[in-house]
Amino acid sequence: MTALVTQTDAAPSTTPDTPPASTQGDAPVGLFDAVTLRGQTFRNRLWVAPMCQYSAEEEDGVATDWHLVHLGSLARGGAGAVISEAASVTPDGRISPQDLGIWNDEQVEALKPITAFVRSQGSVPGIQLAHAGRKASTFRPWSEVQGSVPEAEGGWPTVAPSAIAFEGYAAPRELSRDEIAGLVEAFRAAARRSVEAGFGLIELHAAHGYLLHQFLSPLSNERTDDHGGSLENRARLLVDVVRVVRAEVGDDLPLLVRFSATDWAEGGWDEHETATVAAWCRDAGADLFDISTGGLVAGVTIPVGLGYQVPFAQHVRETAEVETGAVGLIVSAQQAQAVVAEGRADVVLMAREFLRDPHFPLRAAAELGVELDYWPEQYLRAPFRVS
């Protein structure tokens, strides 16, 4: 693994002999060691995971002041990267009518001041490109009703690899071969717009039961053509998307893929298939794999607990020999530090803890005894002190 390079006081090494990201010579890597992924340097390994806000301009997918303040505060709080919520590559791919989009130039213009502010705070702005498939056109979580939004109320028909509904949602229509080819082009165009909008990192959302995950899992993909059946066929759409996005953005921009490493269901997608496809995606141009779990089917039993998904990130990292990010109930500085120091993953992505404390990285550094030089000057009367 040579794509992710540890930054120390010495000049960074970019030779093939660069050690894995979990080592810094003989010393373990620290959470606040800077890293370089392709042409982008991140000031630390503590990144903000994508979190849907359901607050875009309705029907338009355009970012609002909420996104500027929300994402900007996370960058100001010291995160190495701030990855925005899932931005749909087509109008019918939004999870809800209030989700972000990246399918037109108006959306790009609204995102530019957000990415500029994130960069001004020393963080790298990232975007997650997505299509919700059969889980699109739903009410946002705090609505009085849940499930699919009727067309009369602003919803739309959904699509999927096969006409199999997610429990409690409207049945989707099976995509045609031409429509699948069109989706590859939509991701390519969205990647181009992401660069225009100022993002320094792109993540492809192939997790949580959304469209790319639906193609991967045999529980949601019953096709009999070259996009169904064998693992190679089920992974074809994702690998094609990785390949065209890499070609579109060039060699310098980091490209991530988010996987659900298991469906937690018998006969479903699992960590072994995840590792295999991660290696294929690496060969197609992906750099790091953000490992979550679940979301494809309802009613499964998930052994939720602190760091419960970290073993999956470690499995994919070691089996596929790729860089990974760990996510899922990582809630303390010591816990996050252990993940990278023990080589279980290369970066840590956190979500709910950032909602509770947008300045978590600044607090975590104090708890770990790390002095940072990127406290906001306006806040210099308030650095955390841990006695």
Catalytic residues: 210
Return the number of other C-beta atoms located less than 10 Å from residue 311's C-beta. 14
Spatial distance between the Cα atoms of 336 and 295, rounded to a whole number of angstroms: 24
Report the alpha-carbon distance of residue 310 to residue 325 in Å, rounded.
9
The residue among 198, 177, 288 whose CA lies nearest residue 240 is 177
CA pair distance 205, 257, nearest whole angstrom: 6
Residue 359 in contact with residue 330, Cβ under 8 Å? no
DSSP 262-315: --SSTTS--HHHHHHHHHHHHHHT--EEEEE---SSSS------TTTTHHHHHH
Please identify which residue in the block is written with the tokens 């739903």.
Answer: 138
Best CA proximity match to 45, nearest among 2, 86, 5? 5
Alpha-carbon separation of residue 117 from 71, 73, 270, 376 (angstroms)? 9, 10, 39, 13
Q: Which pair of tokens denotes residue 8?
A: 């120390």
**DSSP line for 157-190:** --EESSS-PPTTSPPPEEPPHHHHHHHHHHHHHH
Residue 113 has a CB neighbour count (10 Å cut-off) of: 16
CA pair distance 318, 94, nearest whole angstrom = 34
Which residues lie across from 24 on neighbouring strands?
A: 27
